[in-house]
Structure 1
Amino acid sequence: MILTVTLNAALDVTYSVPALVEGASHRVDEVHTRAGGKGVNVARVLHDFGYDVLATGLAGGASGDRLRADLDSAGVCHAFGAVAGDSRRTVTVVSEATGEATVLNEPGPVISGPEWQAFLSHFADLVADADLVVCSGSLPPGLPHGAYGQLCEAATAQHAETFLDAQGTDLLAALAAGPALVKPNRDELLATVGGDDLWAGAARLRELGAHSVVASLGPNGMLALTPDGAWRATPGAALTGNPTGAGDAAVAALAAGHVEGTDWPERLRRAVAWSAAAVRSPYAGHVDPSIAAHLRADVALKETHDSDIDW
C-alpha cells in the first residue's frame, strides 16, 4: 500500500474565466471545487490508475468536511487526522484565452502541539501497513521544520520507504532521515541549496541524505540523479494548460514505479508522460490514461553527466 501524507490539505476551488485581466472584474464561467493539496493529488492519480493507496494528513472545519466528502465520492480511501482549525482553500483562476492558471494559496490552520502528537500516533498505526510513504507539500503554521523528518523516521522504523516533495528548510531538515527520493521542482531546488547549478544542487541533496533526487523542470522534463545513474527525460512537445498538478502526477508515477520495481528509465518515461498529461486536465489530481499512454511514446531519455547538460 502507498500512504500519501498531506499535512496542509486544501479545498481546491477553480474558476474558469474567458480571460484574466489584472485589476478588472470578471464573470466566472464555471466553478469547480474538490479535495486538494499535493499529497491528495498524488493519491487521486494513483487511485485512478488502480494502485492501492490511502490518503492521510490533517483536516479540520467545514473545509475539512467537504474535503473528506469529495474523496468519498471519488472512491479514494482516506484517514485524515482531525484538527480544530478550518482547512485552507486554494483558488485557481484559469484563463480560457491562454490556458494559463493563476493560483492563490491560503496558509492553512495553526496546528497545536497536542494535535501534532495525536497525528504522529495516528500515522504510526497507518504506516504499519504501508510499503511506501509519500509526503508532499507545505507545512501548516505551528508545525516544526523537522515534521517531515519525524515522519520519515517513523516510516523507517516500520520498514517503509519514503518520498518527499517539499522545499527549503522543511526539505533540508528531513534529509538526515534518508528518504528514498526527493522531488523538488527547478526553482525549489535552487532556492533550497542556493546557486544556479541544478546538477550540483541535486548532488548536494544526495550528499545530505536523499538516496535519489528527481528535479522537475516544467516543459523541459526532468533531471534524475540516482544510485543507478543519472538521466535527463524530456517530453516530445510542450503542452499548454493548467500545470498546478503536473508535479503531483510525476510523484504518483515515480511512486508506482518504485513499488513495482521498474527500472529508472521506465519510471522517468512514465513520470514525464503523466506530468504532461496532467497539464491537459483543467483540475489538479487528474490524468487521462489514454493521453498519458500516447505521450509516453514520445518521451526522450538520455543518460547524462553534468558536463552534458545545457540549461
Structure 2
Amino acid sequence: MTRVALIGFGEVGRVFVEDLRGAGQADITAWDTAFADPGSKASRNARELGLAPAPNAAAAVAGADLVVSAVTAMNCVAAASSVAPGLQHAAWYFDLNSSSPGHKQEAAAEIHAAGGRYVEAALMSPIEPRRLASPFILGGPHAQRFGEAAGGFGLTGARVGAAVVGVAAATKLCRSVVVKGLESLLSESLLAARHYGVDREVIASLSNILPEADWEAIAGYFISRSLEHGVRRAEEMEEAAATVAEAGVTPWMASATVERQRWAAQFGEVLPQGSTPELVDAVRIAAGLFEEGDG
C-alpha cells in the first residue's frame, strides 16, 4: 500500500485524508507545527479523523511514497527543509502551497538535494466541492511522470503544465490578484454601501457590466472566505505581490489586497450569518463602524 505523508493539516490536508481513506488508502501520516496547540484546527482535524500526529516533519515523511505539502504560503521553503532529513529516495513531493515562483524554486532545490522528486502544484479553484478532483496545474521536471500517476491518488483534475518550476505558481498567483482582489473589493464596497443604504442598488448594478448572476450571494461567499481565511489569504497575496514585482510590475493592487484580507481576518467570529446584508452589518458592528441610523 502506498504511504502518504501530509505536511500541514488544515482544510486541504483534511480533504486529502478523507478522500484517500475513502479510496482505500489508509497508510497516512501527518505533521503540522500547530499540533503543539491542542486547540488548533490542525489538532482538531487529527482528533476527529483519528490520526495520530507524527513527532516531527522528518518522522512523518519516513517511508512515504508521496509527501503533500499544504502549509501557509510563507512556510513553503521551511516545510521542504524540515522533511529533507527523513525523505525517502525518489519520493514524490507535491507542493501545493500558494508561494511565489522564487520560493517554489528554493523548495525544489531542497527536495532535489535530498533525493526526492519535487512537483509544484497550483490549485486553481477552492478545494470544495470537487475535492481531490479539483483542477491542479502540475509543474517542474518531474511533473509529466507524476501526472501519469496522479489518478491513482484521486487527483483526476490534474494537468501537466511547464517543466520549469515556478510557472504553475505564477499562474496561480496572477489569478489570485483577481480573485482575492475581488473579495477585497466587494468587502470594501459593501461595508461603505451599507452605511449609505445603497448596497442593494450597488449589487443590482453589477450585472449591467458583469455577467448576470446572484451577486449578493457571490459577495456573501467572497466576504465570508476573507473572514474565515484572511490570515492565509494575506500571506498568499504577499507572495502574489512578490510574483508581480518579479515581473517588473508595481504590485499596488496585490499589496492593497494584503491589507484588506489581514483586516478581515480579525472578524471571523461573526460567521455564520443568514444573509449578505446581515454579514456585512455584523462585520461593521465588530469593527466599530456601525452607527445608529445607518442603512
Task: Calculate the TM-score normalised by the size of structure 1.
Answer: 0.35
More strand by share: 1
By percentage of residues, which structure has more helix? 2
Kindly name which structure, 1 or 2, has the bigger radius of gyration based on alpha carbons: 2
Structure-2-length-normalised TM-score: 0.36
